[in-house]
Amino acid sequence: MLTSFPFNNGHVQTILPALLRRGPAVGYARERIWTSDNDFLDLDWSRQGNSRVAVVLHGLEGSSTRAYVRGMVHALNEHGWDCVAMNFRGCSGEPNQKLSMYHSGLTEDLDTVLRHVQSRERYAGIALVGFSMGANQILKYLGEAPDRVPEQVVGACAISVPCDLEGAAHALARPANSMYMHYFLRSLRQKIRQKAAMFPGALDTDGLDEVRTFAEFDDRYTAPMHGFANALDYWRKSSSLQVLGNIDRPSFVLNAADDPFLSPGCFPFRDVEQNPFLHLEVPATGGHCGFLSLSRNGLYFLEQRVLAFLDRVDSSSVPREIYE
As annotated, the active-site residues are 132, 259, 288
| For residue 6, cis peptide bond before it (omega within 30 degrees of 0) | yes
The dihedral through the CA atoms of 104, 108, 113, 118 has a sign that is positive
Torsion (CA) 323, 110, 137, 247 in degrees, nearest 10? -50
CA distance 133 to 89: 13
The dihedral through the CA atoms of 312, 315, 316, 321 has a sign that is positive
Residues near 208 by Cβ (< 8 Å), separated by ≥ 6?
189, 192, 193
CA distance 119 to 84: 14
Kindly report the three-state secondary structure assignment for every residue of 266-299: HCCHHHHHHCCCEEEECCCCCCCCCCCCCCCCCC
Query: 88: which DSSP letter?
Result: P
Rounded to 5 degrees, what are φ and ψ at 84?
-130, 115
